[in-house]
Amino acid sequence: MEEQNDYPKFTPSMRKTHTILIPSMLEFHMALFEASLIQSGYKVEIMHNEGPAVVEEGLKYVHNDTCYPALLVIGQFIDNLNHRTDLDKVVLLITQTGGGCRASNYIHLLRKALKKAGYGYIPVVSLNASNLEKDSGLKITFPLIKKVAAAMTYGDVLMYLYNKTRSYETVKGSAKQLALDWIKKLSDLFAENKGTSYRSLKKYIKQIALSYDALSVDLSHTKPKVGIVGEIYVKYASLGNNHLEEFLVSQGAEIMVPGLYGFILYCLYNSIYDYQFYKSSKIKAIGCKFLIHYLRKREKLMIQSISKTKITPMKYFSHTKDLSEGVLSHGTKMGEGWLLTAEMMELVEIGYNNIVCAQPFGCLPNHVCGKGVMKKIKSIHPNANIVAIDYDPSATKVNQENRIKLMLSIAKEKINEDDPVKL
């Protein structure tokens, strides 16, 4: 509480002079978020620094019982600052969920770490939907939400189609190159303040789906299908999960990573459940209902566009969310809560029976909602082959990969080579 009034502020006048540093997470989404924030008048840079120095800085300035994602994000910030010369012209952006989980406190941990590292004069901006930092210079306006929602929609479509095709491409790297070409094109459109309307989304999502439909693929070999779930940071950030996606693909798997839409809709639905179960704010619940409606219209665009190709589209989230029923209540919402259970149930339902559940050190909620429900999921789906992998500063990559290889060997045993491959 001591820092409530004396921390450096990110003021509106700094928008033109200061670069906002953002931790890396989802490659495609982050590139598009960067473009939409730049168009909104902010100077932005996604950090890409990795390596042992990030963990070392995290361990130096964060208490070692803190969740691993906080340690990595703070370590990445400090390592990045250590290599900059424009220290008086940077601002750090961190997300706050506003829920009961420790992610709401990351901002205080970061400010404390900055002070200890000698960077206490650098402002920290909070990105949140709960007004936890009321004096933030970053204003969440409807036009910004619209741009970010469009970026998220394109990001989810690209990530989905990339993962569907990357293991079968006949020209190595072509699926990735196609995604990068689209990111360039969409970023150029964003720069002209185009590409974010409903009509534009409809047009470009259709074109993206058709471009992946036309990508040359070899479907002659059946591959084990592996889904990735877990705490949001270690699920999505290659820094957090030691490049899990690349490792699985290198081992001959087809992978599925549930989209960011699921997490955002999960957060929005939680406000409605909060009102229903715990009698919290009715106004917030009504606002979230509006946003759910807004996103569901765009989700429909993704699904309808992909269903016109040979690629199987993702499921509607309204279906996914119901899959946790009977396993975990919608009232369970710390960490990834019921979403983690629902995503595992869905993955098994759509044929990704093999699942890696990424669990960071210090994350009690996701141990309950991930590891804690595996037995129940296996009793409903006996063919589910789930492995929980722990990520922490002392866990070695070799140990993690050996456990995943064991899961993959079981997956490969169950493959029927005569089954036709369906994207």
Residues lying near ligand SF4 in the complex (CB under 6 A): 67, 69, 101-103, 231, 335, 360, 362-366
For the beta carbon of residue 370, count every other beta carbon within 10 angstroms: 25
Q: Whose Cβ is closer to ligand SF4: residue 72's or residue 186's?
A: 72
| Nearest residue (CB) to ligand SF4, 19 versus 104 | 104
414 exposure class (CB count in 10 Å sphere: 0-12, 13-18, 19+): exposed
CB atoms inside a 10 Å sphere around CB 405? 11
Interatomic CA distance for residues 265 and 296, integer angstroms: 9
Decide whether 97 or 385 has the Cβ nearer to ligand SF4.
Answer: 97
Nearer CB in complex with ligand SF4: 232/253: 232
- How many C-beta neighbours within 10 Å does residue 229 have? 29
Distance CA 382, CA 255 (A): 20
Complex with ligand SF4: residue 231 or 274, whichever CB lies closer: 231
DSSP single-letter state for residue 5: T
Type of residue at 353: N
173 or 331: CB nearest ligand SF4: 331
- 389 vs 392: CA distance, rounded Å: 10
Nearest distance, CB of residue 363 and ligand SF4, angstroms: 3
* Closest distance to ligand SF4 from the beta carbon of 70 (Å): 7
Sequence-distant (6+) residues with CB within 8 A of 294 are 149
- Minimum CB distance to ligand SF4, residue 77 (Å): 16
We find the least distance from the C-beta atom of residue 299 to ligand SF4, in angstroms, to be 24
Q: From the CB of 371, what's the least distance to ligand SF4, in Å?
A: 13
Least distance between ligand SF4 and beta carbon 360 (Å): 5
Pick 336 or 346: Cβ nearer ligand SF4: 336
Q: Which is nearer to ligand SF4, 262 or 360 (CB)?
A: 360
Rounded least distance, CB 26 to ligand SF4, Å? 16
Least distance (Å) between residue 237 CB and ligand SF4: 12
Q: Which CB, 320 or 366, lies closer to ligand SF4? A: 366
| Residues 85-114: b if buried by 16+ CB within 10 A, e if exposed | eeeeebbbbbbbbbbebbbbebbebbbbbb
Q: How far apart are CA 400 and CA 388, in angstroms?
A: 10
Q: How far is CA 90 from CA 26, 182, 225, 276, in A?
A: 22, 29, 42, 42
What are the CA-CA distances from residue 249 to residues 193, 226, 285 (Å)? 36, 9, 40
188 contact partners, CB below 8 Å, separation of at least 6? none
**SS3 (DSSP) at 38:** helix
Least distance in angstroms from the C-beta of 234 to ligand SF4: 8
